[in-house]
Structure 1
């Protein structure tokens, strides 16, 4: 079968490897769609902190059941998405239901080879029925779940004023699910096209193009209070540090971004505001179910999100192009 591998930073190739066999408790999935994520772009660029090369990429996965174990609830041809976080089930985090931050976590496409290939064998517990969804929609569940998880951790609700900083796919996902909770949502970014998308397609209440004077504009727009919840999805250490100043007194700051850097902040300001600082990693099955229900009920503009697509053979050339801001990508899908 074919697989898309990043051999080293800057070099993607199509390789041939054997079709895997499903082991005990595993399901063999024929992959039909792979969403390309910021993580994948970071892998190609050489700045993903948890990865060793070479690596078959791909963790936003949708496909069809090719083979399931005896007694499984799955049958051949079922449309599924994959929860790509392979957790141990026995560490303290897992015992508390926090499988997204398992002490021994292995993420497909990062810690081990991923699903940008024709077939993959994964534990049955990591396969999620996508009944009623198309393949494009099923491939978007994972990145949307990351945003939903961060919003859930934030505690945002109908009375919350939320700022999402960074209007890439994860930031868009966070904005969608903050809106779904009834929050007043502002989105900040340097890219005017993405801000227009957030306003027009997901109903962001306010958008702010980040430029000189942004702090004063945010202060004026919020009567000097700033935001109850700030969610960073920029992938920029500088932006992550700046975001502390956007949090209101008594507010919460959620870092969806992960970078190869130390993040610092002013301790006097942090304590003065009694800021709650939260990391947000991956997602849980609960978040996947939240997303599935939102898509089924028409609350996610999946057709608008799927802005670019191409075949597996063309992906080594397309992915570097898709990563460029001028490409205008919201979510790119590789079709198999």
Structure 2
């Protein structure tokens, strides 16, 4: 009954947005993305392909600081196994998807933004603990719930309570809150507490600490996480970034995510892997950007080496 009620609310919000949009202006933003990826793994043939993506975000004001939002997402992938959509939802051979994949209600107070509905969520400053980010596309790829971001006194706050929108009846839940404090102009740090509840299975508690230090053109961000699982319960990520100017930067990121170190094995870094990323970002114009990253990794449990080369062009509007 609870699942039915939640879906009725979310469906009603999407229809309400369509109705209100006929009478109120809709703010439209979005992007188009072209991405090349090549993956290799010791003992397996390499896989490469192109992804062509587009997203269109709409938000319309309904008064009293409330607004409705929705997003259309589409992607074509020459190699479906490299795609950003959920193959369990669409089938392993599906090469293209198009979906109304995000929708809900925003409320903006003086210090906080609250979001209720289907949304993208990451947990941890480096997305070390959990990631169903807005780079995902299509159905059964996000979460349904309530999130809040803002500032309370001297603390930055980000919190979420949500249920995963998964294929079938498995509805895992996650809860997390991060508090951040800016100690000096160049240094800030934070603490994250989280809980992940497998539907009908293990519940795990998580904590993470993070810090960012900036000096000149350099910045360093590090995050360390641990769960209450009995073994393989740690994760970390540390990244150095150097900005040559306002347009071009390079970064190196080292990470390790043990099997039970993140929430539901859904870190932004590959679970049961350790490795180093080497990246370059460049702003071509105010609307166009390019990122190239090489990921050199090793599976912790088996020792198998694997690599990823990604080149991504993004046009925002």
Is the shorter-chain TM-score for this pair beyond 0.5, marking a shared fold?
A: no
- Structure scoring higher RCO (CA < 8 A, sep ≥ 6) equals 1
Between Structure 1 and Structure 2, the one with more strand by share is 2
After TM superposition, the score normalised by the length of structure 1 is 0.29
In the superposition, the TM-score normalised over structure 2's length comes to: 0.30
